[in-house]
Amino acid sequence: MIHEILPVGILQCNCSIFGEESSREAIIIDPGDDIDDILAVLRRHSLTVKAIVITHGHIDHIGGAAKLKAVTGAPVYMNQKDQELYDHLDMQAAWLGMEVPERTGIDMEARDGDSLQLNATAFHVLHTPGHTQGSISLWIPAENKLVAGDTLFRDSIGRTDLPGGDGRQILRSIRDKLLTLPEEATVVPGHGLQTTIGREKERNPFLTGL
């Protein structure tokens, strides 16, 4: 499996590009910005986008979805509980002093227990609310990889002081949905460096006593 991680936009959101070698199909997770750079990666590997998946409705993760969808025609997946955040993209842009990006419709609802297929590889949707109410993580057992959005970071967890955030809920999500994954599983957070489930269990100061 091809997997490129591109930090995009002013907040350097980790956009994941997964490409399956035989079908040349791709899943793009969190195309927050810099769509031309994402398209260049797709061209370099001769990939066609099958799905655009949004881990949550914050502008740095979803800002480029409309543009990427317009170019590729791929459907956008997001949990419906973040629709309201997405509806207020203009407000999010104002907080960050950014231009308001174009918006698009959500084509498919990403619910807990759903899965997307990239040829034989399954991407399982885990609903992990707390950073936002519609936050999801993607668990890819065949790759032993978790794409965690802004739920779990190396040495940290997602902030819960923005609208829709809930400090107790994010810890419950991490404990029940993420820390139950294999310790050696790689975690690709929404920002910053990769880590593993085992490392965060042992060292993440926000998770002590969970």
Please say which residue, 19 or 164, places its beta carbon nearer to Zn ion. Answer: 164
Minimum CB separation of residue 189 from Zn ion in Å reads 11
Residues that bind Zn ion (CB under 5 A): 58, 150
Shortest distance, CB of residue 113 to Zn ion, whole angstroms?
23
Contact 37, 8 (CB under 8 A): yes
Q: In the bound complex, what is the minimum distance in angstroms from residue 131's beta carbon to Zn ion?
A: 6
Residue 58 vs 67, nearer CB to Zn ion: 58
What one-character DSSP code corresponds to residue 146? Answer: E
Nearer to Zn ion, 58 or 145 (CB): 58
Q: Which is nearer to Zn ion, 50 or 56 (CB)?
A: 56
* Shortest distance, position 167 Cβ to Zn ion, whole Å: 15
Q: What is the DSSP letter of 59?
A: H
Q: Give the C-alpha separation, 201 to 97, whole Å.
A: 36
Question: The dihedral of CA 115, 126, 96, 104: what is its sign?
Answer: positive
Please, which residue, 19 or 134, has the CB nearer to Zn ion? 134
**b/e map 63-79, b = 16+ CB within 10 Å:** bbbbbbbeebebbbbbb
What interhelical angle do 65-72 and 35-44 show, nearest 10? 40
Smallest distance from Zn ion to CB 149, Å = 7
Rounded to 5°, angle at Cα 176 from 171 and 181:
115
105 HSE (CA, 13 A, CB side): 4
Task: Pick the closer one to Zn ion by CB: 19 or 130.
Answer: 130
